[in-house]
Structure 1
Amino acid sequence: MTRARQPSPQTAAVLRALAADPAQWRYGYELGQEVGLKAGSLYPILIRLSDRGLLEASWETDPPQGRPPRHLYRLTGAGLSMAAELAPVAAPVLRPRPEPRGAW
């Protein structure tokens, strides 16, 4: 099955970040920090990738005491293939913009 269009730059950045170490389970917060996306942009991307079979999602099995379990993510074989297709396209990893410092 071929894709009708290229993924957004944000989705491509998430795929590339996950493809850097495809066997490693990653936390959403960690991914968001790496690619410069806030939760409101990141988690819909992760859900969409998971729904399309490009991403595995799992709950953390042994969270530290006092903290609820977190979701973990990693690429499936299909997700890794898609990330490899994107690799030749030179697109920068998104980084957060520095906060402006105003003279209040």
Structure 2
Amino acid sequence: MQRNRGLSAQAVTVLRALAVDPSRWRYGYDLATEVHLKSGSLYPILVRLADRGLLEATWEPGPDGRPPRHLYRLTGTGREYVAALPAAQSVRVAPHPKLRLGEAS
């Protein structure tokens, strides 16, 4: 069964970051730094976006015996999706500030 849920605010933020230069391949680490998401949040988003056909992914061999790295960029469908997003969905997602013990939320 296929679900047609809308994208999360974090997924939209990732798409918008990639849309700045849609033909450029980007590393997940660089995206994580730019959109302020931890890898445990970012990489599942990248997989879901690729599954929907909004991103393409490829492997780059690692230099000097290091492991290969994944690269991502928008597909034509991804570019169209971002172009059709309402301006209200352009909110950047920042991580929640950590509270010290004893502080009220």
Separation in structure 2 between the aligned mates of residue 42 and residue 79 of structure 1, nearest angstrom: 17
TM-score, scaled to structure 2: 0.80
Identify if the C-alpha distance between structure 1 residues 90 and 54 changes in structure 2 by more than 3 Å, giving closer, same or farther: closer
1:49 CA drift (Å): 0.7
Q: TM-score, normalised by structure 1?
A: 0.81
Alpha-carbon distance, 1:6 to partner: 3.2
Aligned length: 99
Root-mean-square deviation (CA, aligned residues, Å) is 2.2
Structure 1 contact 16–87 (Cα < 8 Å) conserved: no
Contact 2:36–2:93, Cα closer than 8 Å, also in 1: yes
The Cα offsets for residues 49-104 of structure 1, whole Å up to 9 and x where unpaired, read as 1111110000014x3213211000000000111111225225322234566689xx
Partner of 2:69: 70
Could you tell me which residue of structure 1 aligns to residue 19 of structure 2? 19
Percent identity over the alignment is 60
Structure 1 unaligned segments of length 5 or more: list them: none
The corresponding residue for 1:54 is 54
